[in-house]
């Protein structure tokens, strides 16, 4: 009888627990920002291509943004934080972590500060992955992608305190680009000792983006405040294979990529220097730009990227 009574008591307790789980709402867990460590990171390889993280205080780039959501909730980011789909964070392939950047949606003028604490995106033609909540605030969650401008603001705090001094960056000029669609975690960022590292490609820097919307002087921390900024009424997408200070170098690249069909050289003056851009376009939708990028990649132009221009 004692055994029966004990068994009945256990069964009753289990029923009570299951009932509570079925009726109680899921806890509203919030993973706080901050934490982790400040790191530039070592060169790392994805799908046969090497990436070279480095300090980039002048980073200012246009391109296509995407977002990543709850599937990564609670996982460690590349600098040791916990991913929170409801926080204002982002993934970038080569920026130090954590740093704050301003992401401006060039389709609607919404601008927001986010915290870069992860590596990615690895889909071709994407320059940043923002969190689900950041995509909501920027107005492109339902659409999936947006034309954006990403501007470096500064290093982010660690647990509310000032970050340590930066690591010594490697002497790398241009980062390699790759196309895998699988996100990696922090354990996959270390290179294998003795493995060959691709040589850096030395060329002229890419020109500053044409959409010169002013960067608001306030909100340099991810407060969640969305700022409306002026953006060009019309922008287009281009696939840029390179930019050179010497026309002959640009002509050689164009000849090598001629099979793509619509490769042209476009000259532009930046900071008193004339640059010759080798590019395809313009395109009015991401799908067309993605297709052009795939054609150039198929011809061996692994450094090609989608840019936003007028």
pLDDT digits (tens, 9 = 90+) for 168-202: 433 323 333 333 333 333 333 332 233 333 323 33
> Percent of the chain beyond pLDDT 70?
68
| CA dihedral over 172, 99, 71, 308, signed as positive or negative | negative
* Alpha carbons 152 and 124: distance in angstroms, whole number: 21
Higher pLDDT, 310 or 9: 310
Architecture of domain 31-232: Beta Barrel (2.40)
Judged by average pLDDT, the poorest of 72-86, 191-205, 213-227, 234-248 is 191-205
Per DSSP, the residues of 51-109 read E-----TT-EEEEEEEEE-GGGTT-B-TTS-B--TTS-EEE-SSS-BSEEEEEEETTT-
Given a cut of 60, is residue 104 above it in pLDDT? yes
Given a cut of 60, is residue 108 above it in pLDDT? yes
Instruction: Name the phi and psi angles at 16, rounded to 5.
Output: -65, -40
The CA angle 106-292-199, to the nearest 5 degrees, is 95
Residue 201: predicted pLDDT: 30
Count of CB atoms situated within 10 Å of the CB of 205: 14
Topology agreement, domain 31-232 and domain 234-310: no
51: confidence class by pLDDT, cuts 50, 70, 90: confident
Given a cut of 90, is residue 249 above it in pLDDT? yes
Domain covering 234-310, topology? Alpha-Beta Plaits (3.30.70)
Given a cut of 90, is residue 30 above it in pLDDT? no
| pTM exceeds 0.85, yes or no | no
pLDDT digits (tens, 9 = 90+) for 250-268: 999 999 999 998 999 999 9
110: confidence class by pLDDT, cuts 50, 70, 90: very high
Could you tell me the two tokens for 98?
Answer: 């954590």
Count of CB atoms situated within 10 Å of the CB of 211: 18
pLDDT digits (tens, 9 = 90+) for 268-303: 998 899 999 999 999 999 999 999 999 998 998 888
Residue 270: predicted pLDDT: 87
pLDDT digits (tens, 9 = 90+) for 115-159: 999 999 988 899 999 999 999 999 999 999 999 999 999 999 886
Per DSSP, the residues of 137-157 read HHT-TTTS-EEEEEEEEEEPP
Given a cut of 90, is residue 306 above it in pLDDT? yes
pLDDT digits (tens, 9 = 90+) for 113-126: 999 999 999 888 99
Domain chopping of the chain, boundaries: 31-232, 234-310
């Amino acid at each position: 009888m004692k055994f029966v009574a004990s068994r009945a008591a256990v069964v009753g307790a289990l029923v009570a627990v299951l009932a509570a789980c079925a009726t109680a709402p899921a806890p509203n867990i919030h993973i706080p920002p901050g934490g982790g460590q400040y790191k530039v990171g070592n060169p790392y390889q994805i799908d046969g291509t090497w990436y070279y993280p480095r300090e980039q205080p002048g980073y200012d780039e246009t391109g296509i943004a995407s977002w990543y959501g709850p599937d990564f909730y609670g996982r460690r980011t590349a600098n040791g934080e916990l991913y929170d789909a409801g926080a204002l964070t982002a993934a970038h392939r080569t920026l130090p972590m954590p740093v704050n950047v301003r992401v401006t949606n060039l389709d609607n003028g919404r601008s927001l500060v986010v915290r870069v604490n992860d590596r990615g995106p690895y889909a071709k033609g994407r320059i940043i992955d923002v969190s689900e909540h950041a995509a909501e605030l920027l107005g492109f969650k339902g659409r999936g992608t947006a034309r954006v401008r990403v501007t470096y603001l500064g290093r982010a705090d660690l647990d509310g305190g000032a970050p340590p001094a930066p690591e010594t960056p490697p002497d790398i000029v241009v980062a390699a680009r790759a196309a895998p669609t699988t996100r990696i975690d922090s354990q996959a960022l270390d290179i294998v000792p003795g493995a060959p590292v691709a040589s850096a490609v030395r060329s002229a820097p890419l020109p500053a983006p044409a959409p010169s919307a002013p960067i608001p002087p306030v909100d340099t921390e991810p407060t969640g405040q969305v700022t409306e900024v002026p953006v060009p009424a019309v922008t287009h997408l281009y696939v840029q294979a390179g930019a050179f200070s010497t026309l002959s170098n640009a002509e050689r690249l164009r000849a090598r990529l001629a099979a793509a069909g619509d490769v042209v050289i476009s000259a532009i003056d930046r900071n008193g220097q004339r640059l010759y851009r080798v590019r395809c376009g313009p395109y009015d939708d991401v799908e067309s730009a993605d297709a052009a990028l795939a054609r150039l990649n198929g011809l061996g132009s692994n450094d090609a990227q989608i840019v936003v221009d007028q």
